[in-house]
Amino acid sequence: MSEHPTAAVTSVAQVAVDTRHFIGGERVASAETFTDVSPIDGRPLGEIARGTATEAAAAVAAATSAFPIWAATPPAERARLLGAVADGVEKRLEELAAVETRDNGALLRSHRRGVMPRVAHNFRFFADRLLKLAHEDFETRGHSQHVSWDPAGPCVLITPWNAPLLLATWKAAPALAAGNTVILKPSEWSPLTASLLADIATAAGLPPGVLNVVQGYGPEVGEALVAHPDVRRVSFTGSVPTARRIATAAAAHLTPLSLELGGKSPLLVFADADLDQAVDLAVEQYDNAGQICLAATRLLVEESVAEEFTRRFTERAARLRQGDPRDEATDIGPLIHPRQLEKVDGFVRRALAAGARVVLGGHRSEGPGDRWQDGLYYAPTLLTDVAQDSEIVQEEVFGPVLTLQTFTTEDEAVRLADDTRFGLAATVATGDQERARRVTARLVAGTVWVNCFYVRDLRAPFGGSRLSGVGREGGDWSFDFYCDLKTTVTAPNGWTDGRIMGENGRADHG
């Protein structure tokens, strides 16, 4: 099969992908479509159903109708079905990896070895966690108090383009495990693997309406979803401006939100650090062409080792190979979209005009083919001589662009690290364990890595501080968000005249 879009099904990397919505267990077309284009070579991948408020209402209605049955499904059965979804992901791992690479331009080797196995693990982890979910009962004046997690209802999950299926299942797995129904709205720049997930879920036996997928643009279908009165949870990963619009739309019905937003994370390199390890950590920030919210894009290096660090960094980064992400030898692929390329290049040009100095890169780079696709490749870039209050230091670029600043004291390092509106993550490179404790305690961040990067355990809470987000997901924190917690208090003396008897036999009416 060659890549060729049709009205309902397209072939991508020799995998058939349905381009319609998935609502109530059925494929649903829209009156209009939008074109999904590969960032690798600019070729159209398919004409995707373009949702509106009509499809949003239909998806919420399907999820609302399916909710009572799914919520009443015993936890062990829900866990079994989610395990079957994980099995389906593993069976189609190569297909999912190939399609997502074609769709968003991330490395095929990363999708094969890390991303798609983690997708399956998301389902297995939360299925297993569901069966272990418990809180010890406690006693108050002889009264027994029991905590339980009740399914909340239909959940809208809005996911970004940089890690489409990984982040979709990071949200969908706990929401489904908790007994909720889901409406998944993928990014219009990378919608294809969400459609394949719907097929996998159906084959695994999820009842109709439990998982729905609605495609399209945020203003046309996303806002209608989050503003719907029957939606009981909204989880969003993306930009701060979009989060503000989502929060406004959800406010009318006080729909609870979980928001994982942007970052401008620091990497603090102290003179006592293993410098080669610190350089490796810094170069790792170019992963996925810098299109990672957690990336430590601000390198803060102790002045006494800054020159040597910079020398080693530029030598190491210069060896990165940029090109077709389907090639096993490629280290950096393209940016996702021409608009993203213009955004990244604009940040760099304005920084240079403001006095920044290019140490590495600072320009568009040649890609592996024709002129159109060459335009989406941006060279790994390092800028120095940047002011702390400058745009390039304060705003998220979301591309392969790092800045380097120096410090002389621990206090100065922490002050620079914390001096942005964000607080998603931070990385510390030091050989001093006590310093690591002092510094991490003062950093404003949802996650801090010490002498490592991007190590994430699903048992841990994840989210950001300040403008980097609201709330935490992961482990039991996910169930806390996707459920309504209930406390049941039972009297020690039984029931008398229809009232619960309290202390000294008196009826406690609250």
Nearest alpha carbon to residue 93 among 31, 43, 166: 166
pLDDT score at 369: 53
Rounded mean pLDDT, 461-481: 96
Q: Are the C-beta atoms of residues 479 and 133 closer than 8 Å to each other? A: yes
Exposure pattern of 139-150 as b/e (b: 16+ CB <10 Å)?
A: eeeebeeeeebe
CA–CA gap between residue 160 and residue 187 (Å, rounded):
5
Residue 367: the pLDDT is 61
pLDDT at position 57 is 98
Distance between CA 203 and CA 88 in Å, rounded?
8
Query: Taking CA 47 as the corner, what is the angle to CA 42 and CA 53, rounded to the nearest 5 degrees?
Result: 125
pLDDT band at 105 (very low <50, low <70, confident <90, very high): very high
pLDDT tens digits, 297-329: 999 999 999 999 999 999 999 999 999 999 999
- Selecting among 188, 220, 260, 396, the annotated active-site residue is 260
DSSP E strand stretches across 112-193: 138-140, 143-151, 155-158, 182-185
Over range 2-25, report the average pLDDT. 84
pLDDT number for residue 493: 75
- Give, in order, the Cα–Cα distances in Å from 257 to each of 130, 233, 470: 21, 6, 8
Of 366, 363, 385, the C-alpha closest to 374 is 366
Confidence of residue 120 (pLDDT cuts 50, 70, 90): very high
Domains 9-261+468-486 and 266-450 share a fold: no
Q: Which CATH class is domain 266-450?
A: alpha beta
Spans of all domains in the chain:
9-261+468-486, 266-450
Q: Kindly tell me if the per-residue pLDDT of 499 is higher than 90.
A: no
Complete edge-to-edge strand list for the sheet that includes strand 447-450: 357-360, 381-384, 401-407, 298-302, 266-269, 425-429, 447-450
Tell me the pLDDT tens digit for each residue of 389-435: 999 999 999 999 999 999 999 999 999 999 999 999 999 999 999 99
**β pairing state of 401-407 and 381-384:** parallel
Choose the catalytic residue: 100, 155, 293, 302: 293
Model confidence over 68-80: pLDDT tens digits?
A: 999 999 999 999 9
Q: What is the band of 502 on the pLDDT scale with cuts at 50, 70, 90? A: very low
Predicted structure pTM score: 0.93
* Spatial distance between the Cα atoms of 445 and 435, rounded to a whole number of angstroms: 17
CATH class of 9-261+468-486: alpha beta
In this predicted structure, what is the pLDDT of residue 298?
98
pLDDT at 383: 98
Q: Which residue has the higher pLDDT, 497 or 47?
A: 47
260 is catalytic: yes
Is 155 assigned a catalytic role?
A: no
Q: Are the beta carbons of 78 and 85 closer than 8 angstroms?
A: no
399 touches 357 (CB < 8 A): no
DSSP notation for 102-126: HHH---HHHIIIIIHHHHHHHHHHH
Q: Which segments of 358-505 does DSSP mark as H helices, in order? A: 371-374, 391-394, 410-418, 433-442, 475-482
Portion of the chain with pLDDT greater than 70, in percent = 94
Residue 124 CB neighbour total at 10 angstroms: 19
For residue 34, what pLDDT is reported? 97
What is the C-alpha separation between 223 and 229, in angstroms, rounded? Answer: 12
- How far apart (Å, rounded) are the C-alpha atoms in residues 351 and 5? 41
Is the pLDDT confidence value at 497 over 70? no
